[in-house]
Amino acid sequence: MRQDAFFIGWSRALPPPLARLLALVAAGLLGGAVVLALLLGATADDPAGPDPQPPAEGPARVEGVLRALPYPMIVTDEGRTVLLFGEGKHGASPAGVGQRVVVAGYRFGRGSIGSIALDAAPEALGPAAASTVLPMGRWRITGEVCDGKCAAGAMRPGTGLAHRACAVLCLEGGLPPVLVPTAPVAGHRYLLLANAAGGPITPEVLRLTGLRATFEGRVERIGDLLVLRVEAVR
């Protein structure tokens, strides 16, 4: 006489056929979640768009003129601007501002932003002429405030509400804020943010991290990086 397995509510053991079925369903759901996560990560929109000359990633040494404002950066002889970061979620405070220096660290970038996470203090090579700042007029730009390290390639995605908590910690640690505009500005999809005087951004703007807002102010070019001096926010 054939006996079919059935579920007993008070029993701690499942019938073997049902246990195998549940194991297969659980494995399928777990595998499907992993595949879905990989697909979503691979197809996530890159706000920088295609870059014809993406910055090389990996250990690097860069020589150029060190600037402190609005945030630490190197401007190379080729006109490339490289933002400088400290370890983890901390900004850099390098000595030798206004001098020609060599910096070493891990280089990464996205779109028009190149950056280096410093391994050590810059090596001073001597005095240098100030890098050229090119005024580009007054603009009104709508976009999202992000931290310059993750948005520049340290994380993906490095923008959006999903990244807001991380971005807030990065900016509170002194990392430079960037604006990701809804449309390119003079061919650029990132702008470094500064206050109206050209110094670090104000706390009022930092409170908009991860949110979309409209900014008004003067835009200037330092090397190949655009800087927006924020005068008003709407």
Average pLDDT over residues 201-228: 92
Q: Which residues contact 52 (CB under 8 A, 6 or more apart)?
A: none
**Three-state secondary structure along the chain?**
CCCCCCCCCCCCCCCHHHHHHHHHHHHHHHHHHHHHHHHHHHHCCCCCCCCCCCCCCEEEEEEEEEECCCCCEEECCCCCEEEEECCCCCECCCCCCCEEEEEEEEEEEECCEEEEEECCCCEEEEECCCCCEEEEEEEEEEEEEEEHHHHHHHCCCCCCHHHHHHHHHHHHCCCCEEEEECCCECCECCEEEEECCCCCCCHHHHCCECCEEEEEEEEEEECCEEEEEEEEEC
* The two structure tokens encoding residue 103: 């910096």
Domains of the chain: 58-127 (2.40.50.500), 133-233 (no CATH)
60-99: per-residue pLDDT in tens? Answer: 899 999 999 999 999 998 899 999 998 888 888 888 888 9
Res 213 pLDDT > 60: yes
Average pLDDT over residues 167-175: 89
30-67: per-residue pLDDT in tens? Answer: 999 988 888 776 666 555 454 444 556 788 899 999 99
Residue 52 has a pLDDT of: 44
178-196: per-residue pLDDT in tens? Answer: 999 999 999 898 999 999 9
pTM for the model stands at 0.75
Backbone angles phi, psi at 77, to 5 degrees: -65, -25
